[in-house]
Chains A and B, each alone.
Chain A
Amino acid sequence: MRVKNSSLLKAGALAAVATLALAGCAGGGDAASDDSKSDATLTVWVDADRAPVLKDAAADFTAESGVKVKLVQKDFAKIQDEFIAQVPSGKGPDITIGAHDWLGNFVTNGVAQPIELGDKAADFEDVAIQAMSYEGKTYGLPYAIENIALLRNTALAPEAPTDYNDMVADGTAAGTEFPFLVQVGPESDPYHLYPFQTSFGAPVFGTNDDGSYNPEDLQIGANTEFATWLGEQGAAGLLNTTVTGDIAKEKFNSGASPYFLTGPWNVGDAQEAGIDVAVDPIPSAGGEVAQPFVGVQGFFVSAKSKNTLAANEFLTNFIGTEEVQTALFEKGQRPPALSAAFEKAASDPIVAAFGEVGANGVPQPSIPQMGKVWQFWGVTEAAIIDGGDPVSLWEKMTADIQAAIAE
Chain B
Amino acid sequence: MSTGTQPTGTSPKVAESKRSKRAGRIADHASGGVVALLVKIGLLAVVDAIAVYALFILFLKQDWVIFAIVVVFTAAINIIYFSKRMLPAKYLAPGLVFLLIFQVFVIGYTAYISVTNYGTGHNSTKDDAVTSLIQSAQYRVPDSATYDLAIVEQLGTFNFLVTDPDGDVLLGNTDTPLDEVSGADMSGGKAVGLAGYNTLNFADIISNQDQIAAMTVQVSDDPNDGALRTPDGSSAYLYLSTLSFDEAADTMTNTETGVVYADTGNGAFTSADGEELLPGWSVVVGADNYTKAFTDESIRGPLLSVTLWTFAFALLSVATTFVLGLFLAIVFNDMRMRGRKFYRVLMILPYAFPGFLGALVWAGMLNQDFGFVNLTLFGGADIPWLTNEWLAKGSILFVNLWLGFPYMFLVCTGALQSIPDELQEAARMDGANPWQVFRRIKFPLLLVSIAPLLIASFAFNFNNFNLIYMLTNGGPRDASASINVGGSDILISMVYKVAFVGANRDYGLASAFSIIIFLIVAIIAVVSFRQTKALEDLN
Contact = CB atoms under 8 A, between A and B. Distances in A.
Contact of B484 (A2, A312, A375, A382): A375
A114 B232 CA distance: 13
B37 interface: yes
Given A9-B37, A102-B503, A186 B279 contact: no
Given A9-B41, A113-B132, A118-B237, A38 B121 contact: no
Q: By DSSP majority rule, is chain A's interface helix, strand, loop, or mixed?
A: helix
A86 to B, nearest CB: 10
Interface string B132-166: 11011011100000100000000000000000000
Nearest to B130: A110
A6 B37 contact: yes
Interface string A87-114: 1100000000000011011011111011
Contacts of A135: 136
Contacts of B146: 118-119
Nearest to A42: B206
B367 A65 contact: no
A32 B48 CA distance: 21
Contact of A375 (B52, B56, B128, B501): B501
Contacts of A16: 41-42, 45
Nearest to A32: B60
A110 B505 CA distance: 14
A102 to B, nearest CB: 7
A109 B205 contact: no
A370 interface: yes
Contacts of B24: 2
Interface in B463-505: 473, 475-477, 479-480, 482, 484, 497, 501-505
B253 interface: no
A67 interface: yes
Given A9-B41, A400-B482, A114 B233 contact: no
Interface residues of A, number: 88
B515 interface: no
B367 A244 contact: yes
A309 B123 contact: no
Contacts of B203: 65-66
B139 A136 contact: yes
B202 interface: yes
A359 interface: no
A25 B52 contact: yes
Given A107-B136, A110-B279, A247-B367, A40 B207 contact: yes
Given A16-B45, A88-B123, A309 B213 contact: yes
Nearest to A113: B135
A34 to B, nearest CB: 14
Contacts of B56: 24-25, 28
Given A9-B37, A9-B41, A382-B479, A116 B140 contact: yes
Interface string A123-154: 00000000000011100000000000000000
Given A28-B53, A137-B139, A368-B120, A17 B48 contact: yes
Contact of B136 (A114, A304, A376, A383): A114
Contacts of B213: 308-309
B231 A309 contact: yes
B231 A374 contact: no
A285 interface: no
Contacts of B139: 114, 136-137
A317 B364 CA distance: 47
B369 interface: yes
Nearest to B52: A21
B57 interface: yes
Given A109-B121, A380-B479, A372 B502 contact: yes
A375 B502 contact: yes
Interface centre among A27, A80, A114 (most CB of B within 10 A): A114
Contacts of B386: 186
B202 A65 contact: yes
Contacts of B212: 309
B475 A20 contact: no
Nearest to A247: B370
A52 B128 CA distance: 33
Nearest to B278: A108
Contact of A307 (B135, B202, B209): B209
B368 interface: yes
Given A110-B124, A110-B128, A312 B231 contact: yes
A2 B27 CA distance: 10
A330 to B, nearest CB: 27
Interface centre among A13, A107, A135, A244 (most CB of B within 10 A): A13
Contacts, number: 209
B28 interface: yes
A351 interface: no
B206 A65 contact: yes
A197 B192 CA distance: 56
Interface string B435-479: 000000000000000000000000000000000000001011101
Contacts of A119: 146
A276 to B, nearest CB: 25
Interface residues of B, number: 73
A12 B41 contact: yes
B364 A246 contact: yes
A189 B203 CA distance: 51
B129 interface: yes
Contacts of A70: none
A379 interface: yes
A331 interface: no
A303 interface: yes
A38 B133 contact: no
B110 interface: no
B393 to A, nearest CB: 15
A344 interface: no
A240 B369 contact: yes
Contacts of A400: 482
B501 A372 contact: yes
B447 to A, nearest CB: 41
B52 A20 contact: yes
B232 A309 contact: yes
Nearest to B213: A308
Interface centre among B123, B210, B231 (most CB of A within 10 A): B231
A307 B208 CA distance: 9
Contacts of A114: 135-136, 138-139
Given A66-B206, A108-B279, A403-B482, A17 B38 contact: no
Contact of B504 (A240, A371, A382, A397): A371
Contacts of A379: 477, 479
Contacts of A225: none
A187 B485 CA distance: 12
Nearest to A23: B49
B395 interface: no
B197 interface: no
A110 B125 CA distance: 11
B44 interface: yes
B209 A40 contact: yes
Contacts of B116: none
Contacts of A376: 479, 482, 484
A55 interface: no
Nearest to B474: A187
A241 interface: yes
A111 B124 CA distance: 9
B205 A309 contact: yes
Contacts of B255: none
8 contacts: A32-B60, A84-B123, A88-B123, A105-B120, A119-B146, A187-B475, A244-B367, A308-B210
Given A109-B121, A111-B132, A383-B479, 20 more contacts: A5-B34, A10-B82, A13-B44, A21-B48, A28-B56, A88-B124, A109-B120, A109-B278, A110-B128, A110-B133, A116-B140, A242-B370, A303-B128, A316-B231, A368-B504, A370-B503, A375-B484, A380-B479, A383-B480, A384-B479
Query: Closest 10 CB pairs between A and B?
Result: A371-B502, A110-B132, A110-B279, A88-B124, A383-B479, A20-B49, A309-B209, A13-B41, A116-B231, A242-B369
